[in-house]
Amino acid sequence: MTDLDTILKQCKKNNKYAQQTLYNWLAPKLLGVCVRYMKDRDEAEDVMQDAFVKIFTSLSAFKGTGSFEGWARRIAANTALSAIRKKGNIYFERDLQVVANIEFAEEDERSVSTEMIMACIDDLPLGYRTIINLYLVEEFSHQEIADKLGISPATSRSQYARARQSLLKALKLKTEPAGAKNA
């Protein structure tokens, strides 16, 4: 069973082999989504399992238009957001002080790896990390983010701007030569 359409049809019929095949294919990708939102890996795995329950119980809602993986990733992101909201610990920066624009030298930009960016995102406060993930990674609009988080689109935009500046500052600190940090 390698054809996704066949696997999905069999999953809708509760075929356990097809469900296991789909799980094995999607689990690493969805765990990656969940880990971006949940700092604790055990929590991320729990969220991923909840996402799979939602995926399997709502397969009939997937109409075959667009990417199945994208559809499943959105379910995982929404499940992670629900878990964050349930914990009630998402905090958005209220300080209106503008963060200074951070400029990178061209050679610094070249030295920034994807791993470094992801590590810096992971170190951001939960509110910033959530906005960055929703906007940059999951490509939700500010209106969609606002609807999901119960905030205004303007708050989403301003938090994204602050999160981006905080991320750039963290990246700048990681790319500075050791002696330059204290200079």
Report, as an integer, the average pLDDT of 112-137: 83
User: Is residue 100 scored above 60 in pLDDT?
Assistant: no
Domain boundaries, the chain: 4-87, 106-181
* Residue pair 160/135 in contact by the 8 Å Cβ criterion: yes
CATH 1.10.10.10 corresponds to the domain 106-181: yes
Report, as an integer, the average pLDDT of 4-27: 93
pTM exceeds cut of 0.75: no
pLDDT tier for residue 23 given thresholds of 50, 70 and 90: very high
C-alpha angle with apex 133: 130 to 137, nearest 5 degrees? Answer: 170
- The confidence score (pLDDT) of residue 92 equals 56
Range among 17-31, 88-102, 104-118, 167-181 rated most confident: 17-31
C-alpha span between 107 and 54 (Å, rounded): 45
Architecture of domain 4-87: Orthogonal Bundle (1.10)
User: Is residue 178 scored above 60 in pLDDT?
Assistant: no
Fold match, 4-87 / 106-181: no
C-alpha span between 74 and 112 (Å, rounded): 28
Q: To the nearest whole percent, how much of the chain has pLDDT over 70?
A: 81
Q: Which helix (H) or strand (E) holds 50?
A: helix 41-57
User: Is residue 103 scored above 90 in pLDDT?
Assistant: no
pLDDT tier for residue 111 given thresholds of 50, 70 and 90: low
DSSP state of 180: G
